[in-house]
Amino acid sequence: MTISPPLAPAIRRQDAAPPTAAPAPAQPPVLAPLPALLDVEGLSVSFGQTPVLHGVDFAVGRGESVALIGESGSGKSTIAKTVLRLLHHDDSTVTGSIRFGDRELIGLPEKQFRPLRGRELGYIPQDPSSALNPVRTIGSQAQEAAALLGTERLGADRLDGARRTSEVRRARILEVFEQVGLPDPKRVYDSYPHQLSGGMLQRVLIGLTVLPHPKLIIADEPTSALDVTIQKRILDMLTELRSDLGISLLLITHDLAIAAERTDAIVVLKDGAVQEGGRSSHVFADPRSDYTRSLRADVPALNPERYRRQRAIIPSAPAAPAASAATSASAAPAASAAPAQIEVRSVSKRFTVSGTSVVAVDDVSFSIPRGSTHALVGESGSGKTTAVRLLLGLEQPDSGEILVGGEPVHGRSHKELRSVRRHLQLVYQNPFTSLDPTWRVGRIVGEPVVRYGIGTRSERSGRVLEALESVGLTDAVLPRRVATLSGGQRQRVAIARALVLRPDVVVLDEPTSALDVSVQAGILELLSRLQRELGLTYLFVSHDLALVRQLADTVSVLQRGLVVEAGPVEPIFSRPQHPYTRSLLDAIPLVPVAPKEATR
């Protein structure tokens, strides 16, 4: 890696206009009024001959939180890795200036930089499952973080022996685990990563990061893989830790709503360049660049009616209390004039785990009129995935009945079930793992018609092209492998694969949770259009009620396998009856409202 010396400071900030320029609208600077802890100026990074960052300027004040936002490929993570010296490209070139406190980091010898990483510069990675060693206990990995404190800060300098020092570190680790809200810290300490949930693992990472009391934490999409309620708890916890410990935060996210709610300042990036920056409320409420305005338009909470089709639904009775939720779940969709495409009637399923019987779904009922969208919402473990597996015939219910197009799913021969599945397709959550990386797009999309022996070879090719065109892709992607596609393109390929059989029902299992907000908006726009054009019926599985409000007509809220509330989307969102539904709604980020445009 080539590191050039710092640039001489010319124009200090992007919002500083040249002397001859016309007066610009008042805009709070990115630089906080407090002294800067991290000051990035003119930062440019190239990998070989390819530039990825172009003269980036921003600063993080002491005790301040700043968000870097933008789509995948905008340069957010490259900035974080450059600050932390984690770039692994041998041919990378870095120019500009990165000052941390009174030190210039660019050009600083590795021997002098290494003591800063972990102790003063903390890092929370995006995926906790891959950030922790799966074959070591949490405690053994936490001991490494505690070692960064040194015996003086632990108060163990007067104690004899390495064993005693380890015990003092263990006690400090347990204190931090309790501080970040982990239940039963001793059990967590002795557990392996696979024995903990995603939310608990993320709390572990945050605890290990704050353990040495760093001055700055860089959090790279720390909640993108979590349920919205757990996301809210994690963000609340980071806010509290910042307040209690005086830690500065550099938050990397693609979600403008989270940035506006949780940080003091925002820096908007696109293609490695800063589009604009300033105080969070100002940038969100009155964005200056077209790109920021497009990001704002893609915030689901601000555009609840963006995709949901306007159809006449006979007004149903007022929302029923939670005790009668199962009844309202089936009654509300039935109010539509369209016949039911899917009917789930009092379905229950139990599993035996380590000798203990666990209820996955308990007396769940709902129906979906033809051409409409029904949503199943709830946190991980609520029973959404089990309900989907039962619908697809991948699990057998202990009791109850499921009908698709009036035909029962269960109690049928393999051949009969195969016929049902032809009209019932699934789009998985993660396009990065649901598509075979060794196959080309043409083979991936065409596999279902080959499996079902539909048509001649030329007719199959025609179907593949038709499916790709319906999702906005051309025949140019046919010879490509999925590794060469963007996340949005991969998910479009997955949708094309589901549509190639021309199904009546499509099950959408968190189809956008792995995508940026702007890419997510494009996929939802596509799904809405396809439903209008093809008359598709959707079962939309999600933990994000903001998305559900945009896309769904009716909704069932699941908690621990029970339907606690159900009915049309509008009354459920405006007048939720159950505390759990209210908690899901409360997890939607509260964002500033943009000022109204002047009437012409």
Let me know whether 263 and 389 are in one domain: no
Let me know whether 411 and 512 are in one domain: yes
- Model confidence at 599, in pLDDT bands (50, 70, 90)? very low
pLDDT at residue number 593: 53
In a domain, 235, yes or no: yes
Q: Which residue has the tokens 């079902």?
A: 452
pTM above 0.85, yes or no: no
The count of residues in the chain is 600
CATH of the domain at 375: 3.40.50.300
SS3 state of residue 61: strand
Residue 106: HSE in the Cβ half-sphere, 13 Å Cα cutoff: 24
pLDDT at residue number 320: 37
User: Taking Cα atoms as reference points, which of 471, 473, 530, 495 lies closest to residue 307?
Assistant: 530
Q: Residue 512: is its pLDDT beyond 60? A: yes
pLDDT at residue number 458: 93
- Model confidence at 374, in pLDDT bands (50, 70, 90)? very high
Q: Where are the alpha helices (DSSP H) in 219-368?
A: 228-245, 256-262, 280-285, 290-297, 325-334
- Model confidence at 163, in pLDDT bands (50, 70, 90)? low
In a domain, 476, yes or no: no
pLDDT in tens, 266-277: 999 999 999 999
For 149-163, what is the mean pLDDT?
55
Instruction: Tell me the chain's radius of gyration from C-alpha atoms.
Output: 26
What range defines the domain where residue 143 resides? 137-210
Q: Kindly state the helix (H) or strand (E) to which residue 420 belongs, with its residue range.
A: helix 414-422
In a domain, 468, yes or no: no
Let me know whether 29 and 107 are in one domain: yes
Q: Residue 541: is its pLDDT beyond 70? A: yes
Structurally, the chain folds into a number of domains equal to 3
Q: Residue 439: is its pLDDT beyond 90? A: yes
In a domain, 101, yes or no: yes
| Helix, strand, coil shares, percent, the chain, to 5 | 40, 25, 40
Cα dihedral value 394, 201, 240, 557, nearest 10: 10
Rounded to the nearest integer, the mean pLDDT of the chain is 82
Cα–Cα distance measured from residue 18 to residue 4, given in angstroms and rounded to the nearest whole number: 26
Cα–Cα distance measured from residue 598 to residue 41, given in angstroms and rounded to the nearest whole number: 37
pLDDT in tens, 7-28: 333 323 334 333 333 334 444 4
Regarding predicted confidence, which is higher, 56 or 590?
56
pLDDT at residue number 400: 94
pLDDT at residue number 233: 81
Contact 118, 214 (CB under 8 A): yes
In a domain, 173, yes or no: yes
Let me know whether 577 and 513 are in one domain: yes
Which stretch of 151-155, 215-219, 438-442, 541-545 has the lowest confidence by average pLDDT? 151-155
Last residue of a domain, one of 176, 210, 244: 210
Cα–Cα distance measured from residue 325 to residue 578, given in angstroms and rounded to the nearest whole number: 10
Let me know whether 158 and 268 are in one domain: no
Other beta carbons within 10 angstroms of residue 379's beta carbon come to 21
Let me know whether 291 and 326 are in one domain: no
Cα–Cα distance measured from residue 308 to residue 547, given in angstroms and rounded to the nearest whole number: 10
Contact 363, 542 (CB under 8 A): no
pLDDT at residue number 600: 34
User: Taking Cα atoms as reference points, which of 255, 195, 249 lies closest to residue 225?
Assistant: 255
SS3 state of residue 557: strand
Let me know whether 270 and 256 are in one domain: yes
Which stretch of 46-60, 130-144, 283-297, 328-342 has the lowest confidence by average pLDDT? 328-342
- Model confidence at 297, in pLDDT bands (50, 70, 90)? confident
pLDDT at residue number 555: 95
In a domain, 306, yes or no: no
- Model confidence at 225, in pLDDT bands (50, 70, 90)? low
pLDDT at residue number 376: 95
**Highest mean pLDDT: which range of 41-55, 347-361, 478-492:** 41-55
Other beta carbons within 10 angstroms of residue 155's beta carbon come to 12
In a domain, 236, yes or no: yes
Cα–Cα distance measured from residue 396 to residue 158, given in angstroms and rounded to the nearest whole number: 63
pLDDT at residue number 197: 77
Which stretch of 12-26, 59-73, 90-104 has the lowest confidence by average pLDDT? 12-26
Let me know whether 152 and 277 are in one domain: no
pLDDT in tens, 188-200: 999 999 888 777 8
Last residue of a domain, one of 255, 282, 297: 297
- Model confidence at 37, in pLDDT bands (50, 70, 90)? very high
pLDDT at residue number 35: 74
Cα dihedral value 429, 431, 436, 437, nearest 10: -150
pLDDT at residue number 352: 84
- Model confidence at 429, in pLDDT bands (50, 70, 90)? confident
pLDDT at residue number 221: 84
Token output for 179: 């501080």
Q: Residue 74: is its pLDDT beyond 70? A: yes
Q: Which residue has the tokens 């972990």?
A: 118
pLDDT in tens, 312-347: 333 333 333 333 443 344 434 444 456 889 999 999
Name the region of 354 (left: φ>0; alpha: ψ -120 to 50; beta: rest).
left
Last residue of a domain, one of 210, 240, 259: 210
Cα–Cα distance measured from residue 243 to residue 309, given in angstroms and rounded to the nearest whole number: 44
Cα–Cα distance measured from residue 377 to residue 384, given in angstroms and rounded to the nearest whole number: 7
Q: Kindly state the helix (H) or strand (E) to which residue 353 belongs, with its residue range.
A: strand 340-353
Let me know whether 534 and 397 are in one domain: yes
Let me know whether 56 and 112 are in one domain: yes
pLDDT at residue number 264: 93
Regarding predicted confidence, which is higher, 302 or 316?
302
Question: Rounded to 5 degrees, what angle do the CA atoms 276, 13, 50 make?
Answer: 70
Let me know whether 559 and 511 are in one domain: yes
For 348-360, what is the mean pLDDT?
86
Contact 319, 572 (CB under 8 A): yes
Contact 553, 237 (CB under 8 A): no
Contact 528, 547 (CB under 8 A): no
pLDDT at residue number 210: 87
